[in-house]
Amino acid sequence: MGADIQSELDRRHRSATMVVWFFFALDIVLMAIAYLAGERIFRPANPQLAFGLWLVILVCGLGVFVLRRTRFSAMRLQDIAAVKGVSAMLWTLQGTTIQVASIGGAIGLLGFIITIITGDWSNMLRAAGVSIIVLLYCYPFKSAWQRTVRQLAPPE
């Protein structure tokens, strides 16, 4: 692996990792707010709205696994690397990681909205659990990215 490819991998990996850590921190902050001020932020609403938001969390949580599996399939990444180059493959790794992490962050925000609707902070706890599972699933390990580049990049 060349020095320019390694530096690009480092840069893209660092930015994807920072986004994932930002959403981890967001979950923790939202859980703290829900726990400490859950009763003060309570705004009664239709309970069916909370149920609908739980369905959205379920669909997003399951959809993340499908999205990541299809975007990170070896054949797809190999085709991208062959046609557009290693840089495009690294961009795909970074972009998909950020998209999946954003969905994880959205799940945490939906849990906070459910807490506002119901006044029960444990809803935020459950939604943050789902969000953290999603964020752990999409966490970008540098060794995995390096192995992907070594295995799927066309020979120079």
Residues 6+ apart with CB under 8 A from 120: 38
Instruction: Output the pLDDT for position 154.
Output: 79
Tell me how far apart the alpha carbons of residues 91 and 84 are, in angstroms, rounded to a whole number: 11
**pTM score, whole prediction:** 0.91
User: Residue 47 — very low, low, confident or very high, per pLDDT cuts 50/70/90?
Assistant: confident
pLDDT at residue 1 is higher than 70: no
Taking residues 28-38, report their average pLDDT. 93
Taking residues 67-92, report their average pLDDT. 93
Token match 């975007």: residue? 71
**pLDDT tens, position by position, 95-150:** 999 999 999 999 999 999 999 999 889 999 999 999 999 999 999 999 999 999 99
Nearest C-alpha neighbor of 132 from the set 12, 4, 7, 28: 28
Let me know: does 19 contact 98? Beta carbons within 8 Å. Answer: yes
Tell me, what amino acid is at 29?
V
Tell me how far apart the alpha carbons of residues 132 and 48 are, in angstroms, rounded to a whole number: 25
Tell me how far apart the alpha carbons of residues 132 and 20 are, in angstroms, rounded to a whole number: 10
